[in-house]
Amino acid sequence: MSAPSVPAPSPRDSWSAHSSRRRLARIGRRVTLYAGLVMGGLAMMIPFLWMVSTSLKTRREVFSSAPFSFPTGLHWENYSNMWFALPGVTFGTFFQNSLFIACMATVGQLITCSMAAYAFAVLDFRGKRILFALILATLIIPFQVTLVPNFVLYRYLPWPFSDSGNWIGTNLPLWVWAFFGGAFGTFLLRQFFLTIPTDLADAARVDGANPWHIFLNIYVPLARPALATLAIFQFMWSWNDLLDPLIYLRDLPSYTTTVGLAFFQGQYIGNWPVMMAGALVSLLPMIILFLVAQRYFVRGITLSGLKG
């Protein structure tokens, strides 16, 4: 007797098994990716959580307990001690100085860089490519190279309202430069403007709009993601800047938060709860700004730079 023949699998069953394997492999890769992202996010949160817990501990608990242990009680007095730690000036003064400088620098960059980017992306004029290449070339110059020339320049610029008669000792060198444009902001916005269809500008020209109206009514509203990205970057750079305020500012009431925290470290060395309380307060504007503009920030990073 001949053995019974085994029916061969149908093409539909083979395709279904192959599709199931691909689906399981795709789910496995996604789970692995999400697990890696969650672990990486938790690892990045460890310094922040340590800073929060340290700011709520006593000085004795910092040195006697484990680094990531919870405080025995919420010692909010560390924040009040930090706020009034320095004689004659409060931490709020440093906070206001940093907020003013960062806001002015951000506004200046948004205005001038958007206009320059619009000119390089939309308008046609002689030498546009050469001028844009020269602007980009300034990105490769280290900022340390320009420290001495800038200091000499601000020293000879008159300002009658300062004790020295020039810009040294004032906050003018920290934000006035932003109203003269910047290479990074111009490049970022230009790349975004190039992704906007030129048909919109052509239709506006047919209706009688001039370049200024096209810029304000078409390109600026459509460039909100890129503008939000530049605003976050510029605010962050100005807020975290330590070297420039340390060079140009002379008086304690004119210091920024970064210089104030460095002054804390020198005056209250080892007082980690007070220092961590000041560091946490100085981070609040950056956290709030990112939470408010997160959607525009992610979209601007995704869309900018797609067209050269």
pLDDT in tens, 242-294: 999 999 998 888 999 998 888 877 766 667 888 888 888 888 888 888 788 77
Separation CA 126–CA 93 (nearest Å)? 48
- Which fold is adopted by the domain 81-303? MetI-like fold (1.10.3720)
C-alpha torsion 53→260→93→248, nearest 10? -150
Show the tokens assigned to 18. 């192959």
DSSP-assigned letters across all residues of 85-152: -STT--HHHHHHHHHHHHHHHHHHHHHHHHHHHHHHHT---TTHHHHHHHHHHGGGS-GGGGHHHHHH
| 294 CB neighbour count, 10 Å cutoff | 12
Spatial contact of 221 and 127, defined as CB atoms under 8 Å apart? no
What's the predicted TM-score (pTM) here?
0.81
Identify the CA nearest to 179 among candidates 79, 90, 109, 128: 109
Q: What is the mean pLDDT of residues 120-137?
A: 91
Pairwise pLDDT comparison (50 vs 120), residue with the higher score: 120
Band of pLDDT at residue 215, cut at 50, 70 and 90:
very high
pLDDT digits (tens, 9 = 90+) for 14-40: 666 667 778 888 888 889 988 998 898
Show the tokens assigned to 147. 């420290």
Which of 57-61, 85-89, 133-137, 261-265 holds the top average pLDDT? Answer: 133-137
- For the cut 80, the answer to whether the pLDDT of residue 6 exceeds it is no
